[in-house]
């Protein structure tokens, strides 16, 4: 509210009505500050609570939250004790202090499990965790927590009207986990740790069997296996060449129209020639040591 008043003051300073509007707006500004200051100093808990709700309804969540924070410990045993904590959690949510809102919504649910607002609080806990989930390239601990929270909510409240809406968010969260795992596997390849890359890519396939990245992951396994062969001791070279051919054959079976097919075939041809086998089919492209 105060920011809007300052903006309005700046706009009307250039108008002809400045001589009477500016003083009135400053009076309104000072009056608002005075009211909040008076409420903070008040020893009347009910007055403070009513003032907090007034600020909350006017979407002034900072002042509402400040007043609620001061009186919640004093409201214990009061009929408004339960609602004051729910309003406080909402203040944190609307101010985008999502870690705190998640904490307070969950605390409300655990403190008042039989409350008429317990289901709503748990839903808002889930929503806070979802919105706090970071970009895929950052630590995904909160994403995992959000998924667990949603699954728990759906199990506990199967008839909730927002069940499908909140459950649909799991797909978005899992996509972040997929992307994170896939990029981590690629990072091993970029660092030329081919064995670790092979393990990571295979784990990715098992963990995310329906991922849209599986085609590229299967191709990257072939590339990594080729580099793994090139860095192998002679005694293990033939076995790893055979594994390379097997990877290609599995790749062709699963992705016969892949955009990577021609390049993958070049690695297959290389392995077949190295093992003195006749490649079928063959490709004219020679594999590079690192793609």
Distance between CA atoms of residues 138 and 118, nearest Å: 31
pLDDT score of 5 more than 50 = no
Three-state secondary-structure class, residue 158: coil
Distance between CA atoms of residues 213 and 207, nearest Å: 12
Q: Across residues 51-73, what is the average pLDDT?
A: 96
pLDDT of residue 10: 52
Question: Model pTM?
Answer: 0.76
pLDDT of residue 121: 97
The residue with tokens 């759906």 is 154
pLDDT score of 188 more than 70 = yes
Q: Are 119 and 100 in contact (CB under 8 A)?
A: no
Q: Across residues 207-221, what is the average pLDDT?
A: 96
The residue with tokens 């098992």 is 206
pLDDT (tens digit, 9 = 90+) per residue, 35-56?
898 988 888 999 999 999 999 9
pLDDT score of 92 more than 70 = yes
Q: Are 92 and 66 in contact (CB under 8 A)?
A: no
pLDDT score of 274 more than 80 = yes
Distance between CA atoms of residues 207 and 241, nearest Å: 26
Distance between CA atoms of residues 223 and 263, nearest Å: 9
Q: How confident is residue 9, by pLDDT bands cut at 50, 70 and 90? A: very low
pLDDT (tens digit, 9 = 90+) per residue, 220-237?
999 999 999 998 888 899
| In the chain, % of residues over pLDDT 70 | 84
pLDDT of residue 290: 52
Q: Tell me the backbone φ, ψ of residue 217, rounded to 5 degrees.
A: -65, -40
Q: Looking at the chain, how many residues does it have? A: 291
pLDDT score of 112 more than 70 = yes
pLDDT of residue 149: 96
DSSP class of residue 60?
-
| In the chain, % of residues over pLDDT 90 | 75
CA proximity to 240, closest of 219, 251, 225, 250: 225
Average pLDDT of the residues of the chain: 87
DSSP class of residue 284?
S
Exposed/middle/buried for 285, CB within 10 Å: 0-12, 13-18, 19+?
middle
Higher pLDDT, 17 or 237: 237
Assigned token pair, 278: 């006749």
Q: How confident is residue 33, by pLDDT bands cut at 50, 70 and 90? A: low
Other CB atoms within 10 Å distance of the CB of residue 18: 12
Residues 6+ apart with CB under 8 A from 218: 201, 205, 247, 250, 251, 254, 255
CA-CA-CA-CA torsion sign (25, 29, 32, 38):
negative
From residue 26, alpha-carbon distances to 2, 5, 97 in Å are 10, 9, 30
């Amino acid at each position: 509210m105060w920011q809007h008043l300052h903006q309005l003051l700046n706009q009307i300073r250039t108008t002809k009505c400045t001589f009477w509007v500016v003083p009135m707006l400053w009076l309104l500004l000072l009056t608002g500050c005075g009211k909040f200051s008076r409420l903070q100093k008040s020893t009347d808990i009910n007055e403070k609570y009513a003032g907090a709700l007034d600020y909350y309804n006017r979407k002034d969540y900072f002042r509402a939250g400040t007043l609620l924070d001061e009186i919640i410990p004093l409201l214990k045993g009061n009929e408004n004790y339960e609602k004051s904590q729910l309003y406080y959690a909402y203040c944190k949510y609307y101010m985008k202090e999502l870690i705190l809102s998640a904490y307070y919504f969950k605390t409300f649910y655990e403190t008042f499990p039989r409350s008429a607002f317990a289901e709503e609080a748990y839903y808002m806990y889930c929503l806070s965790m979802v919105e706090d989930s970071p970009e895929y390239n950052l630590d995904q601990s909160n994403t995992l927590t959000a998924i667990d929270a949603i699954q728990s909510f759906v199990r506990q409240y199967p008839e909730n009207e927002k069940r499908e809406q909140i459950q649909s968010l799991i797909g978005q969260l899992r996509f972040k986990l997929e992307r994170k795992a896939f990029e981590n596997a690629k990072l091993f390849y970029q660092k030329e740790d081919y064995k670790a890359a092979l393990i990571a890519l295979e784990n990715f396939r098992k963990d995310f069997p329906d991922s849209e990245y599986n085609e590229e992951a299967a191709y990257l396994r072939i590339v990594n296996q080729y580099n793994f062969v090139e860095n192998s001791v002679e005694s293990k070279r033939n076995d790893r060449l055979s594994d390379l051919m097997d990877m290609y054959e599995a790749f062709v079976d699963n992705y016969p129209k892949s955009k990577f097919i021609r390049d993958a075939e070049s690695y297959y041809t290389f392995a077949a020639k190295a093992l003195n086998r006749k490649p079928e089919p063959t490709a004219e492209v020679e594999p590079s040591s690192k793609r």
